[in-house]
């Protein structure tokens, strides 16, 4: 049966996005904002995605689309936290160890990077996006995305070697 959608894009049932990408989105958010705040960001990410989904024009990279939304929610969380009197580390540190795939100290080091480098490194390594997708997510060229990843990694290595 053919879709009747005027945009001509065939969008898969939203449940497919949950089944295939919920783990990736959660992993990305845990790395980006810490385990606790990742929960709210996860809900906000998928609610925003659901709101926007019927009007989506390009279904070729749904994972990248979700991670771009997750990235914006993580930025919102960082901003909100900046306005709160609570120090960052105290909020983020609780029980990060339950995620065996993330090295908490390392992600904390990433969270201390300047905003663009931080985003680029997260999207590259927590979300596994390529440089073109990272560029789309943070609003720069793919070359600049690559440069931000490289600079971020150099910065982390410096701190690590000390």
Partner 1 sequence: MGTMTDRIATLIARAEQEGLLDVAYATVDSPVGMLTLAATPKGLVRVSYSDTDRVLEELAGEISPRVLAAPARLDGVRRELDEYFSGRRRDFDVAIDWSLVHTPFRRAVLERTARIPYGQTATYRDMAEAAGNRAAVRAAGTALGANPIPVVVPCHRVLRSGGDMGQYAGGVERKRYLLELEQARP
Q: Is 58 in the site for partner 1 (CB under 8 A)?
A: no
* Site pattern 76..95 for partner 1 (x: CB under 8 A): -------------------x
Q: Using an 8 Å Cβ cutoff, are 146 and 154 in contact?
A: no
**From CA 108, how far away is CA 8, in angstroms rounded?**
43
Give dist(CA 80, CA 50) in Å, integer: 23
100 counts as binding partner 1 under rule CB under 8 A: no
- Name the residue nearer to partner 1 (CB basis): 49 or 145: 49
Decide: residue 130, CB within 10 A, 0-12 exposed, 13-18 middle, 19+ buried.
Answer: middle
40 binds partner 1 (CB under 8 A): no
Instruction: Return residues touching partner 1 (CB under 8 A).
Output: 1-5, 10-16, 18, 22-23, 26, 35, 39, 42-43, 46-47, 50-51, 53-54, 95, 98
């Amino acid at each position: 049966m053919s879709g009747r959608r005027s945009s001509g894009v065939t969008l898969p049932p939203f449940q497919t996005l949950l089944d295939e990408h919920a783990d990736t989105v959660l992993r990305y958010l845990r790395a980006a904002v810490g385990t606790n705040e990742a929960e709210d960001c996860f809900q906000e990410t998928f609610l925003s995605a659901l709101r926007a989904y019927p009007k989506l024009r390009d279904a070729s990279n749904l994972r990248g689309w979700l991670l771009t939304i997750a990235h914006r929610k993580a930025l919102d969380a960082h901003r909100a936290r900046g306005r709160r009197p609570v120090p960052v580390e105290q909020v983020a540190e609780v029980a990060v160890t339950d995620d065996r795939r993330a090295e908490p100290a390392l992600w904390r080091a990433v969270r201390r990077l300047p905003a663009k480098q931080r985003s680029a490194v997260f999207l590259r390594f927590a979300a596994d996006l390529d440089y073109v997708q990272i560029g789309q997510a943070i609003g720069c060229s793919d070359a600049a995305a690559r440069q931000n990843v490289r600079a971020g990694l150099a910065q982390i290595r410096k701190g690590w070697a000390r």
